[in-house]
Amino acid sequence: MDAFPRRSRLLPRRATGTAVLASLAFATSLLAQAAIDPNVAPRAAALEREGERPMAIDLLGRYLATAPDDGSAWLQLGRFYLSDARDWHLAGHRGDPDGLLYLDFAATAFEQSVRLSVDSGVVFRGYAEVERGMILLESVGWAVALAGRGHNTGPAMPAYIVELGSNLLSSCPAGGVLLTGNDLESLSVWYGSLESPTLDIIFVRPDRYATDSLYRRRMAEAMGVDPALPVQRALAVVALRRRLCLSPGADTAAAPALAWVPYRLVRLSGPPEATAGALSVTELIKASRGPASPWVTDVREVYDRAAAHNLLLCSSLLLLYGDTPPAACSP
């Protein structure tokens, strides 16, 4: 498809994003000029589902210019820009603006939702930071990108999300390749690895490997395989030298046909071996006793999926499950 029509669609979006964010310093320094309309964010979401994301962004931009204290609208705007950044990867890393600018827009919007105490704001701000890390990885490679990260490169994640990441990493043997299956698992591992920077574990999103040429080239380089190989064959080659670890949410369609063995939260491409650290769900238990959050439920579901493959978790996570064990652990 010709690049010029795409560019013509993107330029108004850049102008909208710049206008919304540039007005932020002025608008948020004043009292809200209009009442919050709880219907605006759902209307924008409906437009996006109909394929009208630029129109949805424009709607939110105009609304937030007069009602800057609507945290849900800021969150929705940030999600749209995050989707734009991901679409930029799928479009071959072409288009104006580029992925980093979209992520700047997304991060600013998410920060406003955090300021307004929207529960999901911090997590989505973390998603934007992970996406920024992926662009760095595509630019300089796995080792340099990982070494260049720091604790000050993004917001502090809820402790139970970091705990999940640490548990997933500690379930994978040193030198292994951890295959994650969704945004939450990837986020938890990204931040969990900041707490355990010495672990020699490569974490990979198989879906991204299959669809993003730059990501595939850099991760193939890190794993020592030919980037021309499709994801399943590439991982089969890696399994000859490194232990593969399937997270609870990993897509088994991308995994090679191997004898997968459950161990802690993952399934291993071979017999279990000792790993560093012990599983802990202390932070998740504490969060479960606090104010209700959908993210606590989503993290709990990761452990539930792991227990479906490893029944030993039913007893080791007894404090977490209490009177509500997952179906796999029910008598």
Per residue in 4-42, pLDDT (tens digit) is 233 333 334 554 555 455 445 444 544 446 789 999 999
Closest Cα to residue 173, out of 105, 44, 270, 292? 270
Same structural domain, 276 and 239 = yes
- Look at residue 87 and tell me if it is in a domain: yes
Expressed as residue numbers, the domain containing 251 is 158-331
For position 152, what pLDDT does the model report? 59
Same structural domain, 234 and 323 = yes
Q: Do 91 and 135 meet the contact criterion of CB atoms below 8 Å apart?
A: no
Q: Do 64 and 71 meet the contact criterion of CB atoms below 8 Å apart?
A: no
Closest Cα to residue 237, out of 249, 229, 247? 229
Q: Does residue 322 or residue 244 have the better pLDDT? A: 244
For position 296, what pLDDT does the model report? 96
Same structural domain, 172 and 66 = no
Count how many domains the chain has. 2
Same structural domain, 58 and 11 = yes
Same structural domain, 190 and 294 = yes
Of all residues in the chain, the percent with pLDDT exceeding 90 is: 69
Q: Does residue 62 or residue 29 have the better pLDDT? A: 62
List the alpha helices (DSSP H) in the chain: 3-22, 24-27, 40-49, 53-66, 71-90, 99-115, 121-140, 142-147, 159-170, 183-195, 206-211, 213-223, 231-238, 282-288, 294-309, 313-316, 318-321
Instruction: Kindly give, in sequence order, each residue whose CB lies less than 8 Å from that of residue 249, ignoring residues fewer than 6 positions away.
Output: 180, 181, 182, 184, 185, 302, 305
Give the tokens for residue 290: 């606090």
- Look at residue 241 and tell me if it is in a domain: yes
- Look at residue 238 and tell me if it is in a domain: yes
- Please provide the average confidence, as pLDDT, over all residues in the chain: 87
Closest Cα to residue 246, out of 263, 229, 233? 263
Distance CA 170, CA 181 (A): 17
Name 245's bridge partners: 178, 268
Same structural domain, 126 and 190 = no
- Look at residue 148 and tell me if it is in a domain: no
Same structural domain, 182 and 124 = no
- Look at residue 137 and tell me if it is in a domain: yes
Q: Do 14 and 85 meet the contact criterion of CB atoms below 8 Å apart?
A: no
Place of tokens 């161990």: 263
Q: How far apart are the first and last CA of the chain?
A: 56
Same structural domain, 179 and 327 = yes
Q: Do 244 and 298 meet the contact criterion of CB atoms below 8 Å apart?
A: no
- Look at residue 100 and tell me if it is in a domain: yes
Last residue of a domain, which of 113, 142, 171?
A: 142
Same structural domain, 117 and 185 = no
Distance CA 145, CA 137 (A): 5
Distance CA 4, CA 293 (A): 44
For position 148, what pLDDT does the model report? 77
Closest Cα to residue 65, out of 99, 111, 18? 18
Closest Cα to residue 205, out of 133, 156, 269? 133
Same structural domain, 272 and 299 = yes
Give the tokens for residue 85: 């950044």
- Look at residue 153 and tell me if it is in a domain: no
For position 330, what pLDDT does the model report? 82
- Look at residue 127 and tell me if it is in a domain: yes
Q: Residue 266 in 3-state DSSP?
A: strand
Place of tokens 């491409």: 269
Same structural domain, 231 and 129 = no
Q: Residue 262 in 3-state DSSP?
A: strand
- Residues 248-260 pLDDT 10s: 999 888 999 999 9
Distance CA 30, CA 315 (A): 55
Q: Does residue 7 or residue 319 have the better pLDDT? A: 319
